[in-house]
Amino acid sequence: MDHKVEAVVKAYQARADEEVAIARGLVSENRQRDLDDLLLPIGAAAAQFVNLLIKEAKARAILEVGTSYGYSTVWLAEAARESGGTVTTLELHPRKIDHAREKMAEAGLADYVDFRLGDALETLAALPGPFDFVLLDLWKDLYVASFDAIYPKLADGALIVADNMLYPERARANADAYRDRVRAAPDMTSVLLPIGSGLEVSRYR
Ligand SMILES: C[S@@+](CC[C@H](N)C(=O)[O-])C[C@H]1O[C@@H](n2cnc3c(N)ncnc32)[C@H](O)[C@@H]1O
């Protein structure tokens, strides 16, 4: 990883460390609004894991569902640069995309990321695929619908990594529903890994 990427990752990490305390103190009535101010990153272990999976699989058509402020996107884009691919990343909020776009430029990775603003389910319906690698990390009640939209567009050998399978506990019911759906889909092989907040790693064919 080059020094520009390292510097951007370090700055994200510093912000994430500060935000842990803020996230713990969130009050329920403002919860959704406040969550939208936070990075909500997949974390260093999960980020390193998806980065190495993409490199090992030589995945080129990389899809991220849930950009937030771009922490995971940097790791995906760094891997895309090595695999000769690009990342298409989906996010609802323009200010998050603006921030992520700036960070990609700072990291020297702007050429490897295609930002798509809007509701992910609508964007997914319009994306042709096929996808070689997918990171699923939007709000958890949308995981099953997102999987249903992505599944017909998976390339042979495609990998899907879904975050938050174990934590936070309030997401557990949606996470379980997602894992049931993936495991019931034809030609999917899937395993739960205790990395970060819990990753379901699934392969097509
Ligand atoms: C957990 S955060 C993503 C964190 C990011 N992957 C990272 O590791 O830095 C989830 C993101 O999904 C976005 N999101 C939620 N529902 C969405 C939808 N329907 N369409 C697009 N983005 C959505 C939220 O705005 C939020 O920024």
* 138 membership: H or E segment, kind and range: none
Asked whether 146 lines ligand 1 (CB < 6 A), one says no
Query: What is the model's pTM?
Result: 0.96
Q: Which residue's entry shows tokens 């305390």?
A: 21
Domains along the sequence of the chain with CATH: 3-204 (3.40.50.150)
Asked whether 68 lines ligand 1 (CB < 6 A), one says yes
Q: How far is the CA of 183 from the centre of ligand 1 (A)?
A: 23
Q: Say if residue 33's pLDDT is above 80.
A: no
Asked whether 202 lines ligand 1 (CB < 6 A), one says no
In angstroms, the CA 184 to CA 166 distance is 20
Asked whether 15 lines ligand 1 (CB < 6 A), one says no
Q: Which residue's entry shows tokens 């990775």?
A: 109
Measured by CA distance, the residue closest to atom 7 of ligand 1 is: 41
pLDDT in tens, 137-180: 999 999 999 999 999 999 999 999 999 999 999 999 999 999 99
DSSP reduced 3-state for 65: strand
Do 86 and 113 form a contact (C-beta atoms < 8 A)? yes
Average pLDDT over residues 111-121: 98
Q: Say if residue 43's pLDDT is above 80.
A: yes
In angstroms, the CA 124 to CA 131 distance is 11
pLDDT band at 91 (very low <50, low <70, confident <90, very high): very high
Q: What is the largest CA-CA distance in the chain?
A: 45
